């Protein structure tokens, strides 16, 4: 069965939300603004990565409320400081009630500081690295994070990318339901083959619509109704 045209996916979304309703839902996000990698220092990228790591399997609201304490405890995520944390620093953090005292995630933050440093050294900055990676190969970027970063699985990586302006699709429950409906995958995609099929579908829909991959992802999610 050929992939449904994106114009028909839009019609499904309009069926569930109405044409004006869909436009309103889309405007609730970034309006007409195109996604753009944030112009920020490497410390902010390490902070965002760390927030994704600590939020995984935990309440985002709790992490958000405690975040000022994280900033202070981790030297405001200066990668050149965090990367050289020694055992005494880990011991200090494990006693620091301002943060979530998870040893594996603390170590992941230290590892990711080195990842940020190495990446910035090669590309000039972490932002430049993200800008250089095309949205048409999101699965390649996710594999890169899985290989070189720590505790940055598919979910943490996609949300990190989206929140920092990279043109990311997100495999939310509704997007996954839509991809199953379209016979792109038969279940939640985890294998390399399934992820390649997902990327191919998004690439086709982006080309057909001229929209950012982020906006295609959102419309796909809105195309799932209560009876889908």
130 and 185 fall within a common domain: no
User: Do 51 and 150 sit in the same domain of this protein?
Assistant: yes
Q: Is residue 95 part of a domain?
A: yes
Domain that holds residue 110: 42-163
Q: How many structural domains comprise the chain?
A: 2
Domain end residue (candidates: 147, 163, 179): 163
Question: CA angle, corner 55, sides to 54 and 56, nearest 5?
Answer: 95
Evaluated on CA atoms 4, 159, 110, 43, the torsion sign reads positive
Judge if 213 and 121 occupy the same domain.
Answer: no
pTM (two decimals): 0.93
User: Token pair for residue 158?
Assistant: 């996609």
DSSP 101: -
Same domain, 159 and 176: no
Which DSSP string do the residues of 67-85 spell out, in sequence order?
HHHHHHHTGGG-HHHHTT-
Give me the pLDDT at residue 33, please.
78
Q: Rg (Cα) of the chain, in Å, rounded?
A: 19
Separation between Cα atoms, residue 135 and residue 155, nearest integer Å: 16
**107 and 123 belong to one structural domain:** yes
Q: Predicted confidence band at 225 (pLDDT cuts at 50, 70, 90)?
A: confident
* pLDDT value of residue 228: 42
End-of-domain residue from the set 163, 196, 212: 163
Domain boundary (163, 179, 207) is at 163
Confidence band of 31 (pLDDT split at 50, 70, 90): low
**C-alpha distance from residue 163 to each of 24, 52, 92, 97, 132 (Å):** 20, 10, 30, 27, 17
């Amino acid at each position: 069965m050929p992939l449904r045209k994106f114009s028909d996916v839009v019609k499904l979304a309009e069926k569930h939300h109405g044409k004006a309703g869909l436009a309103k839902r889309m405007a609730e996000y970034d309006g007409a603004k195109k996604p753009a990698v944030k112009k920020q220092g490497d410390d902010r990228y390490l902070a965002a990565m760390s927030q994704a790591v600590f939020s995984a399997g935990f309440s985002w609201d709790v992490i958000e409320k405690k975040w000022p304490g994280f900033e202070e405890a981790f030297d405001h995520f200066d990668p050149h400081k965090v990367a050289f944390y020694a055992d005494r620093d880990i011991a200090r953090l494990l006693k620091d009630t301002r943060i979530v005292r998870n040893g594996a995630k603390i170590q992941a933050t230290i590892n990711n500081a080195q990842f940020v440093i190495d990446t910035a050294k090669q590309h000039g900055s972490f932002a430049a690295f993200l800008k250089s990676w095309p949205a048409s190969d999101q699965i390649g970027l996710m594999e890169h994070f899985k290989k070189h970063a720590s505790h940055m699985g598919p979910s943490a990586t996609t949300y990190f990318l989206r929140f920092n302006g990279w043109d990311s699709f997100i495999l939310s429950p509704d997007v996954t339901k839509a991809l199953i409906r379209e016979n792109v995958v038969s279940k939640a995609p985890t294998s390399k083959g399934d992820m390649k099929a997902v990327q191919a579908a998004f690439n086709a829909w982006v080309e057909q619509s001229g929209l950012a991959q982020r906006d295609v992802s959102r419309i796909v999610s809105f195309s799932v109704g209560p009876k889908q």
